[in-house]
Amino acid sequence: MADWEVVIGLEIHAQLATKSKIFSGSATAYGAAPNSQANLVDLAYPGVLPVLNAAAVRMAVKFGLAIGARIARRSIFARKNYFYPDLPKGYQISQYEHPVVGKGSLSVMLDDGMLKTIGVTRAHLEEDAGKSLHEGLANASGIDLNRAGTPLLEIVSEPDMRSAKEAVAYMKKIHTLVRYLEICDGNMQEGSFRCDANVSVRPRGAEKFGTRAEVKNLNSFRFVEKAIQHEVARQIELIESGGTVVQETRLYDSDKNETRSMRSKEEANDYRYFPDPDLLPVEIDEEFIDAVRATLPELPDEKAARFARDFGLSAYDSGVLCASRDLGAYFEAVVRALGATHASQTHAKLAANWVMGELSSALNRDNLDIAASRVSPAALGGLLARVEDATISGKIAKDVFDTMWSEGKAADAIIEAQGLKQITDSGAIEGVIDAVIAANPKQLADYRGGKDKLFGFFVGQVMKATGGKANPAQLNELLKAKLAGGEEPV
């Protein structure tokens, strides 16, 4: 392994979140009854013609601007010709020689915290094909053309990645970006975001790339990682045992965790690309680009930098919070809710810890998206305000949070109803400490005899007696004094 360098390039297919298809007025919603969202254009009836959906072009340009790419002032749709039942026209309309988005790049953070720039060769618009259905049909195949004509942005990377982990980091970065831009819902189960990986290996230090294999249709981050790892191992083993890698398309089987050959280069179709005469070249002017630029949101990298700068968060925490636009917005809303009464970076850190900790676990547990959180940012802010003003301890806060999550009540109401308000009155705490010390003379003697560990025992007893509500800091201070005390308990 050490003698080999891995070279990976990804082709990511992001389904654009347009309401209608790229060349017809049919809806693009997922999960409709088969062929209920396929009109005459999608069915490729004789005489019908494609009309380009401007929304798809705007989305592609938005992506291009977000990765600093050159936007082609003139791009061309071509026909990729091949026969397949789920391809009704017998050709796919795709951009071939003249894509709408040219060279760009983005940076990804690697495990060691270093940033690496990955080049994007191009991104082009194309239409998706339909689906063949084989289940429940004896001796026949069904065809569902609902997906036919759904707009895709194919994002082609440079062969810049050197490990499966880098490939996943890049894919996650693109995934974050397209959702930030609101051009793709990123739903990988539904196939809205998927990729093909071009994988090759070469002796470390070699200039020439090895022969690559394309691993098709990877629709989860885990599969991308596993498929690439498997493919790399396969190629190395093959070469080391005297074989040669052939250029081919391979399919990843997630059940068996292996890739297997689909077709070799020789068997590949001759797609006979040529410009689609039914569509005019797409002419894009400065005005159009400026209008799209004006719709760009704050991008993940910009937002993370701002979080680190303004809130004093670590690069890692900022990155996590900016992984989705909604999560970042949630975090900021919590900070705002707190910010009304507090004005330091400490509450931002508190908010960050809670959003990444309790909130994220609760969301994961219930398999909810941040947008569907059972606790609103304002409500969480209300809870954290009670932690900051020492009304409740952090530990009690977790219980309150669980109740908020399950019952949907405000923190203050729960604290009030359950009498969780922290005891901060020194006299009250002292009274309890005195009672506890008086009830445990043996332990007191042992402690004073040098068994320091018994301090925790006394804390526990006091907490038990107060139902956990004693202010921990005060308790510590008072208890320490009393135990050390010289002064005998009354």
Partner 1 sequence: MLHNLSIGELADRLAAKQISSVELTRHFLGRIERLNPRLNALITLTAEQALDSAAAADRRLAAGERGRLLGIPLIHKDIFCTDGVRTSCGSRMLDNFIAPYDATIVTRLKSAGAVMLGKANMDEFAMGSSNETSYYGPVKNPWDTTKVPGGSSGGSAAALAARLAPFSTGTDTGGSIRQPAALTGVTGVKPTYGRVSRYGMIAFASSLDQAGVFARTAADAATVLQIMAGFDPKDSTSVDTPVPDYPALLDAPLKGLRIGLLREFFDGLETRNAALIHEALRVYTSLGADTAEVSLPHLPLSVPTYYVVAPAECSSNLSRFDGVRFGYRCPAPADLSDLYKRSRGEGFGAEVKRRIMTGTYVLSAGYFDAYYLKAQKVRRLITDDFRAAFQKVDMLVGPTTPTPAFAIGAKIDDPVTMYLNDIYTIGANLAGLPGLSVPCGFVDGLPMGLQLIGPHFSEARLLGAAHQFQRATTWHGHTPGGYE
Which residues contact partner 1 by CB under 8 A? Answer: 40, 43-52, 79, 81, 83, 85, 88-91, 143, 270, 272-274, 277-280
In angstroms, what is the minimal distance from the CB of 60 to partner 1? 17
Asked whether the beta carbons of 250 and 214 are under 8 A apart, the reply is: yes
In angstroms, what is the minimal distance from the CB of 295 to partner 1? 25
What burial letters (b/e) apply to 245-284, b meaning 16+ CB within 10 Å?
beebbbbbeeeeeebeeeeeeeeeeeeeeeebeebeebeb
In angstroms, what is the minimal distance from the CB of 40 to partner 1? 6
The beta strands (E) that lie in 171-237 are given as 193-203, 213-218
Place of tokens 């002796």: 203
* d(C-alpha 423, C-alpha 75), whole Å: 70
Asked whether the beta carbons of 11 and 156 are under 8 A apart, the reply is: yes
391 three-state secondary structure: coil
Cβ distance to partner 1 smaller for residue 40 or 206: 40
What residues are paired with 80 via a beta bridge?
92
Cβ distance to partner 1 smaller for residue 277 or 449: 277
In angstroms, what is the minimal distance from the CB of 102 to partner 1? 22
In angstroms, what is the minimal distance from the CB of 27 to partner 1? 18
In angstroms, what is the minimal distance from the CB of 264 to partner 1? 16
In angstroms, what is the minimal distance from the CB of 134 to partner 1? 12
Cβ distance to partner 1 smaller for residue 58 or 386: 58
Cβ distance to partner 1 smaller for residue 85 or 441: 85
Cβ distance to partner 1 smaller for residue 44 or 251: 44
Tokens of 227: 């498929």
Cβ distance to partner 1 smaller for residue 47 or 450: 47
Cβ distance to partner 1 smaller for residue 81 or 353: 81
In angstroms, what is the minimal distance from the CB of 81 to partner 1? 5
Vertex 457 angle, CA 451 and 463, to 5°: 150
Cβ distance to partner 1 smaller for residue 52 or 55: 52
Cβ distance to partner 1 smaller for residue 85 or 485: 85
CA dist list (Å): 251 to 19, 235, 238, 469: 31, 15, 18, 59
What residues are paired with 283 via a beta bridge?
74
- Residue 215: which residues within 8 A CB-CB, separation 6 or more? 196, 197, 198, 199, 227, 228, 231, 250, 251, 252, 259
Place of tokens 């992506």: 63
In angstroms, what is the minimal distance from the CB of 280 to partner 1? 6
Enter the DSSP assignment of 161.
B
In angstroms, what is the minimal distance from the CB of 87 to partner 1? 9
Closest CA to 326 of 146, 158, 115, 185: 185
Tokens of 312: 């004093």
Count of Cβ atoms closer than 10 Å to residue 73 Cβ = 14
Tokens of 256: 């068996």
Cβ distance to partner 1 smaller for residue 40 or 246: 40
Cβ distance to partner 1 smaller for residue 280 or 481: 280
Please, is 27 exposed, middle or buried when counting C-beta atoms within 10 Å of its C-beta (0-12, 13-18, 19+)?
middle
Vertex 222 angle, CA 352 and 67, to 5°: 65
In angstroms, what is the minimal distance from the CB of 84 to partner 1? 9
- Residue 366: which residues within 8 A CB-CB, separation 6 or more? 374
Cβ distance to partner 1 smaller for residue 282 or 436: 282
Asked whether the beta carbons of 103 and 119 are under 8 A apart, the reply is: yes
